Amino acid sequence: MTVIKKSLEDVLPNEYEAVLVAAKLARRLNSLRLAAKEQLSPEEYHKIDARKVTSQAMDELMEEKVKFARPAAAEEEESFDLT
């Protein structure tokens, strides 16, 4: 079996956009983790994924488990010619 590794550019061509998507996902994963922790007793904490939320977010991004939409482009502001 051949494993083909993807690069971040294969998933999202703009690395800055990839960082923003991963950061939003990490924040969401962290909130879900904290909510789950409140529901569990201390003896059950082992059920929570122990990986860092940033690593988990990057893994999900690279595996293309994340669906996201780019916001519609804002209308250009009024421009004028200075010549």
Provide the residue ranges of all domains of the chain, joining segments of one domain with +: 13-62
The pLDDT, as a whole number, for residue 79 is 59
Note the pLDDT tens digit of each residue in 10-68. 888 888 888 888 899 999 999 998 888 888 888 888 878 888 999 999 888 888 888 87
pTM for the complete prediction? 0.68
Alpha-helical runs (H) found in the chain: 8-11, 15-39, 53-62
The pLDDT, as a whole number, for residue 70 is 73
| 61 vs 6 pLDDT, higher one | 61
Q: Please state, in angstroms and rounded to a whole number, the distance separating the CA atoms of residues 54 and 45.
A: 19
The pLDDT, as a whole number, for residue 7 is 78
HSE (CB half, 13 Å, CA atoms) of 68?
18
The pLDDT, as a whole number, for residue 18 is 85
